[in-house]
Structure 1
Amino acid sequence: MQQLTLFDVPSTLPVEHYPGFLHHSEADALMVHCKALQWQQNEIRMLGKPLQVPRLECMYGKDGASYLYSGSVNLNAHLWTPELLSLRDRITAFCGHEFDIVIGNRYRTGLDSIGWHSDDEPSMGYRPAIASISLGACRKFSIKSKVKGSKATHFWLEHGSLLLMLPGCQEGYVHQLPKDNNCFLERINLTFRPYGRLK
């Protein structure tokens, strides 16, 4: 069983980081599979104007599930692929948290990104845990408390790594994947989430 890399995670953060959760060959095979998923380029409305989301997105999981974020982007779930379902079950067996959907983000180069936000949409229920698998390029992930003036903690998320955002993380913290002008490689991120759970 993988061991928590405690030196990477301040004790105050509701986060766990497992750099080698997937073996390199497993991560390579999953990356190939994920490239063939049904990706889409969505638009978000900012100040009443439509803007392209700076990444590609997709969602798989529970039949009939839909996920609305920022009040303007709605993702509808495709049915689980065997590979994604197997990975979900493996993560649940490892961490004890259950997941109903997975949202994929495809960062084509370092110019693709996601800004500061919390994944606190009501459809995920109360105090959700989120499991994040990183594939491809190693990118910086930043997280900080919602308390004004808080400093960010940074993680470099490697190919095959697992980052767990534990219950309470979305309520008290924001996170981002900033642009990286020196990155020319692709990264795919899979975030496994609960859906429609009241507790």
Structure 2
Amino acid sequence: MQQLSLFEVVNTLPVEYCPGFLSSTEADAILAHCKNLQWQQNEIRMLGKPLQVPRLECMYGKPGASYLYSNSVTLDAHPWTYELISLRDRITAFCSHKFDIVIGNRYRNGQDSIGWHSDDEPSMGYRPAITSISLGACRKFSIKPKVKGSKATHFWLEHGSLLLMLPGCQEGYVHQLPKVDNCFLERINLTFRPYGRLK
């Protein structure tokens, strides 16, 4: 796999990466708050068979928002917490993109993961910008173009970092968080997204 420095990644891919977006103290506080969110273990259907999603999930945000992925898993929005809406507003001030929901993924150890995919569900509207906040264990993030034979670029998402996937990223690229050996700490990922916007 192709491996680039963070500077090169930002300049060759439709993403922007900001390590240390949250201070260590701020990131620790948000991580502690997120551990008490309403996590759920979902099932996804693969080849007609039910399988447990290899991570825990939750969604907060816009009243009535419902998010369907893979035609088999539905997440319904819980009301914003003070901490999550404050973080959302801080991210919007930083990157100038507005967000209506946040989806949480809780990776309990290195064996929890998410495979190659794009976040291109119609409920997010046209060419969405998505911001990811990483909390806890540092995990590898991989991204590659939707072109057969393309090489993947990967780098490590640090505690308190922000990764912005710019408009057009979901249409042209896929990404994943693969399994890793010898990781016994958990990671919580918060992805702030638009919902129900045409533009």
**How is 1:1-199 mapped onto 2 (pairs within 5 angstroms)?**
7-199=7-199
Deviation of 1:12 after TM superposition, in Å, equals 2.5
Q: Deviations over 1:98-128 (max 9, x none)?
A: 0000000000000000000000000000000
Does structure 2 retain, via aligned residues, the 8 Å contact 1:8–1:155? no
Moved runs in structure 1, 4+ residues, more than 2 A? Answer: none
Tell me the SS of whatever aligns to 1:37: coil
Aligned Cα RMSD in Å? 1.0
Does structure 2 retain, via aligned residues, the 8 Å contact 1:138–1:158? yes
Counterpart-to-counterpart distance in 2, 1:33 and 1:173: 32
Q: Deviations over 1:14-44 (max 9, x none)?
A: 0000011000000000000000000000000
Tell me the SS of whatever aligns to 1:181: coil
Tell me the SS of whatever aligns to 1:9: helix
Deviation of 1:8 after TM superposition, in Å, equals 4.9
Counterpart-to-counterpart distance in 2, 1:10 and 1:92: 19
Counterpart-to-counterpart distance in 1, 2:198 and 2:8: 32
Counterpart-to-counterpart distance in 1, 2:158 and 2:6: 16
Gaps of 5+ in 1: none
Question: 1:115–1:74: structure 2 CA closer, same or farther, 3 Å change rule?
Answer: same
Q: Give % identity.
A: 86
Deviation of 1:10 after TM superposition, in Å, equals 4.6
Does structure 2 retain, via aligned residues, the 8 Å contact 1:38–1:58? yes
The amino acid of 1:110's aligned partner reads G
The amino acid of 1:162's aligned partner reads L
Deviation of 1:174 after TM superposition, in Å, equals 0.1
- Report the number of matched residues: 195
Deviation of 1:6 after TM superposition, in Å, equals 5.9
Does structure 1 retain, via aligned residues, the 8 Å contact 2:104–2:188? yes
Tell me the SS of whatever aligns to 1:17: strand
Counterpart-to-counterpart distance in 1, 2:180 and 2:13: 24
Does structure 2 retain, via aligned residues, the 8 Å contact 1:8–1:17? no
Counterpart-to-counterpart distance in 2, 1:188 and 1:53: 15
Question: 1:8–1:19: structure 2 CA closer, same or farther, 3 Å change rule?
Answer: farther
Q: Deviations over 1:125-152 (max 9, x none)?
A: 0000000000000000000000111111
Gaps of 5+ in 2: none
Question: 1:19–1:8: structure 2 CA closer, same or farther, 3 Å change rule?
Answer: farther
Counterpart-to-counterpart distance in 1, 2:192 and 2:155: 19
